Amino acid sequence: MKPRHVAIIMDGNGRWAQARGLPRSHGHRVGQEAVRRTVTCAAEEGIPYITLYSFSEENWQRPPEEIEALMALLTEALTSETDWMCQNGIRLNVIGATHKFAQSVQQSLNDAITATAGGNRLTLTLALSYGGRQEILHAVETLLAETKNAALTQDFFAQHLFTKDLPDPDIILRTGGEYRLSNFLLWQSAYSELIFMDVLWPDFAAEHFQEALSLFARRQRRYGGVVDKTEAAL
């Protein structure tokens, strides 16, 4: 059994760079190479959705020079990778409070989203200026403003989240040796399989992704009850 949706907390760029006496920004740049490796592997495995925790709401608290370097890297990557995404059937999607970004960054995002809109092989979602608690509060505010008498169900609530067009992640994978979700997809991860790896993100390779898929295939997904019917049939 393969997952439909893999969501990744890409942790360890800064530590990777510092261990080598390099600026943290260099770790982020090398981490971009791991992004391409991972997306390529996911596409080859036929996984239709992958979401990357690229810049959290809390990341705005980092030093201004690091934020500036991250924004420059994001813009550069969008420019350099758009043709590759188009050629490989990858559609770019973004969730989060991207209105906080400079207009130039927003324009780069919009251009890449438009250019890759026809991709039907894999949807790559970048979580940018994203926070799970903030997303839930945004959904509540929207519901309060738009509805009065509608019955509030989980499905109805989920349609007001940033991820309304995505299935919930089957896997939440975190690199870097930490064991927490860090405000990532809190509602959506209710029944996700959690996988933590000690490898720092810049060193994340295809074999690590394959290892995560193997771990997932061996797990039984009961959802609080019986084993998942698809898995029970294997």
Residues designated as active site: 11, 59
Sign of CA dihedral 182, 188, 192, 197: negative
Q: Which residues pair with 127 in a beta bridge?
A: 53, 95
Sign of CA dihedral 185, 42, 70, 82: negative
Check: CB of residue 195 under 8 Å from CB of residue 6.
no
Check: CB of residue 175 under 8 Å from CB of residue 8.
yes
The one-character DSSP state at 168 is P
Cα separation, 73 vs 133, in Å, equals: 26
Instruction: From 202, 210, 211, 216, select the one nearest 36 (Cα to Cα).
Output: 202
Check: CB of residue 186 under 8 Å from CB of residue 131.
no
Check: CB of residue 81 under 8 Å from CB of residue 36.
yes
